Amino acid sequence: MRLGVLDIGSNTGHLLVVDAHGGAAPLPAYSFKQPLRLAEHLDESGDVTRAGIDALTDFVREAALVADEKGCAEVMAFATSAVRDATNSDRVLAHVEAQTGIGIGVLSGEDEARLTFLAVRRWFGWSAGRLAVFDIGGGSLELAGGADEAPDVAWSLPLGAARLARTYLTSTPSDEELKALRRQIRADIARDAGHLIRAGAPDKAVATSKTFRSIARITGAAPSGEGPLVRRAIPLDALREWIPKLVTTSHDELSRLPGVSPSRAHQIVPGALVAEACMDIFDLAELEICPWALREGVILERLDHLSFLGAPE
């Protein structure tokens, strides 16, 4: 069957159209996305601003048309950290549904971590052993670990790259700002690190999503044009060498680095600090990149549900 997954993230709105059936990898058929930067469209009270609401509504309306044109039998729409944390999220989603006919569910941080873990497990398979999975978005960092398809532990922290850039960093951060941000990141991750550490070292540590992919590319990973089956990773040693360079690099220069888009260049430094902290705190020499993440997890869980019900695929 042809499914549409409409992901309203903190950075980007993304409709992924896939051809999918149980027992096979979802095959991407079409991708439609726009930068929304909802994490940066929050006012002082925590409301999504009128500009953010209008951008979201326009995108969902256009995405619904694309899904119809591409023959999607079903569109699964969900929102993550920026909408989840907004104080007016219910009003925003009611407005979007009234204007577009698309109802958007809000995933909890734990569900984000759990579904991303499912996608990573299916990608690497059982031979990967016990997994530790890290997923940084615009608004939050998700962490999960386990040896099965469902993680033993899964939680979310407000350490998204866009949130950190907006909250802690100016366009030219001082040494004091960077030190404060680094301390905050490490304290937040370390507070609940025992959830993952108690089970022992993972057999494979994995990172997903755009920020980690960009960092991997900066530190020497193969470009996306070489395909998803090429192994990519972020080595801790290489990342430590790059962070001082990234800190002193201008926004324009950052946006010209391999794998970095202009709209996300300001998020690279906080994203790199989160990646380094995850590897330090959990004693990991590298994070391997998985091309599947939350959207694929949503698709896979839906296919599992249909197969369980015996519904046609």
pLDDT (tens digit, 9 = 90+) per residue, 104-117? 999 999 999 999 99
Residue 174 banded pLDDT, cuts 50, 70, 90: confident
In this prediction, residues 237-243 reach a mean pLDDT of 98
In this prediction, residues 144-167 reach a mean pLDDT of 95
Q: How far apart are CA 153 and CA 179, in angstroms?
A: 29
Query: Which of 42-56, 92-106, 207-221, 296-310 shows the lowest mean pLDDT across its residues?
Result: 296-310
Q: What percent of the chain has pLDDT over 70?
A: 98
Q: What is the pTM of this model?
A: 0.94
* CB proximity list for 273: less than 8 A, separation 6 or greater: 164, 178, 181, 182, 185, 243
- pLDDT at site 217: 98
Q: Is the pLDDT assigned to residue 311 strictly greater than 60?
A: no
Q: How far apart are CA 54 and CA 77, in angstroms?
A: 17
Q: What percent of the chain has pLDDT over 90?
A: 87
Q: Is the pLDDT assigned to residue 271 strictly greater than 90?
A: yes
- Region label for 78, one of left (φ > 0), alpha (ψ between -120 and 50) or beta (otherwise): beta
Mean residue pLDDT across the chain:
94
- pLDDT at site 308: 65
In this prediction, residues 81-86 reach a mean pLDDT of 93
Quickly tell me which residue has 């990234």 as its tokens. 246
What is 109-294's CATH number, 3.40.50.720, 3.30.420.150, 3.20.20.60, 3.40.50.300?
A: 3.30.420.150
Q: How far is CA 216 from CA 109, 255, 303, in A?
A: 24, 15, 31
Q: How far apart are CA 293 and CA 86, in angstroms?
A: 23
The answer to whether the beta carbons of residues 141 and 160 sit under 8 Å apart is yes
- pLDDT at site 310: 60
Fold identical between 2-106 and 109-294?
A: yes
What's the CATH architecture for 2-106?
A: 2-Layer Sandwich (3.30)
